[in-house]
Amino acid sequence: MFPVSRPRRLRATAALRELTAESRVNVSDLVAPLFVREGLDSPQPITSLPGVVQHTVPSLVEEVRALVALGVKGVILFGVPSTKDDIGSGAFDPNGIAQKALRNLRDTFQDDIAIMADLCVDEYTSHGHCGVLDAHGHVDNDKTIDIYCRTAIAQATAGAHVVAPSGMMDGQVGAIRAALDAAGFLDVAIMAYSAKYASAEYGPFRDAVDVRIAGGGDRKGYQQDWRNSREAVREVLEDIEQGADIVMVKPALAYLDVVAEIRRLTPLPLAAYHVSGEYSMLKAAAANGWIDHDATALEHLGAIKRAGADIILTYLTRWYAEHVS
């Protein structure tokens, strides 16, 4: 017998496919991660992240100018200091590199684009961990939170619209919210890296920010085990209770089950981070002629959107804004 149902009807032409598409990626969904490095004379390419650079403050401003003109609505900033110490004091120094860059961006672009600041200390600590170490070399949760609160105030003072705690300390969102409120920053939002996994896919990012974890260590003591998804629900619920405005799942593609689950769990905006390793794998395979870069990039971003993310942090933002939309 011939089939009664013919789903192929709606796939017959490009116009029909476009008309019936269930999800779309818009430039305004994308956030560009940007790196600014202290003491540079000119922007430096990052070998493991083709097309991404460590910026000087002036080259950062020019990059954001181009993104604004292309309709991008968000950037997230990472600072790379020229000196590091035990507690990562460059992260909360009012004249630290991230704060300098934030002040320049806010002065130049005002409210034309959402200026987000990654809130962590791993770029600033000599040992490369996301917090302060105790006598046993473990990250001390509560001492680290004090430093995150100081960093949040420094970033908000410098002009960040959004701070984005990425260190996975327990209670960080509530403490940062209270610190921001007490300092009068009631309108500064928190985008929480809520379900952040201890992933091998952050490798190229650590080149971008010059981080080597001391003794060949890892972040499994604070980032999530990738075998778990119920744990992500717990982390997200806690961050919501503590006042997160946007929650995030990171990385993206290997965790789309988690993205879909969190989408059902909360009405808050949901972000997903297509991380450095996801980008680098795409670039490397495309450079070898093994896959079609543009088609694969669209499929990656489209899948993240389909799974339920509202916001995608991606190194593909400028490419998408220039070549796709």
| Number of chain positions touching ligand PBG (CB under 6 A) | 9
48 lines the binding site for ligand PBG (CB under 6 A)? no
Question: Quick one: 5 or 259, whose CB is closer to ligand PBG?
Answer: 259
Which residue of 29, 63, 118, 235 would you call a contact of ligand PBG, by CB under 6 A? 118
Segment interacting with ligand PBG (CB under 6 A) among 87-95, 116-124, 227-235, 262-270: 116-124
Q: Which of 148, 205 has the CB closer to ligand PBG?
A: 205
- CB of 276: closest distance to ligand PBG in angstroms? 3
Q: Is 275 in the site for ligand PBG (CB under 6 A)?
A: yes
Q: How far is the CB of 7 from ligand PBG (least distance, A)?
A: 37
The DSSP result for 195-254, as a single string, is EEB--GGGHHHHHHTT---GGG--STTTSBPTT-SHHHHHHHHHHHHTT-SEEEEESSGG
Contact with ligand PBG (CB under 6 A) among 276, 280, 314, 317: 276
| Distances, alpha carbon 131 to alpha carbons 123, 173, 187, 241, in Å | 10, 15, 26, 23
One of 84, 100, 250, 283 is an active-site residue; which one? 250
Q: Does 163 bind ligand PBG (CB under 6 A)?
A: no
Q: Report the C-alpha gap between 220 and 218 in whole angstroms.
A: 6
- Is 305 marked active-site? no
Decide: helix, strand or coil at residue 44: strand
Q: Does 38 bind ligand PBG (CB under 6 A)?
A: no
Nearer to ligand PBG, 17 or 164 (CB): 164
Q: Can residue 54 be called a binding residue for ligand PBG (CB under 6 A)?
A: no
202 belongs to the binding site for ligand PBG (CB under 6 A): yes
Query: CA 188 → CA 75, 88, 116, 163, distances in Å?
Result: 15, 23, 10, 7
Contacts (CB under 6 A) with ligand PBG, residues 209-228:
219
User: Contacts for 148-152 with beta carbons within 8 Å, 24 or more apart?
Assistant: 148/119, 148/120, 148/121, 148/172, 148/175, 148/176, 149/175, 149/176, 149/178, 149/179, 150/92, 150/179, 151/91, 151/92, 151/119, 151/121, 152/119, 152/176, 152/179, 152/180, 152/188
Return the DSSP state at 167: S
- Distance of alpha carbon 296 from alpha carbon 281, whole angstroms: 11
What residue type is assigned to position 264 of the chain?
A: R
Per-residue mark of binding to ligand PBG, 121-140 (x: CB under 6 A) = -x------------------
Q: Is position 205 an interface residue for ligand PBG (rule: CB under 6 A)? A: yes
Among 4-12, 61-69, 114-122, 294-302, the segment contacting ligand PBG (CB under 6 A) = 114-122
Catalytic residue check, 84: no
Residues carrying an active site annotation: 196, 250
Residues that bind ligand PBG (CB under 6 A): 118, 120, 122, 166, 202, 205, 219, 275-276
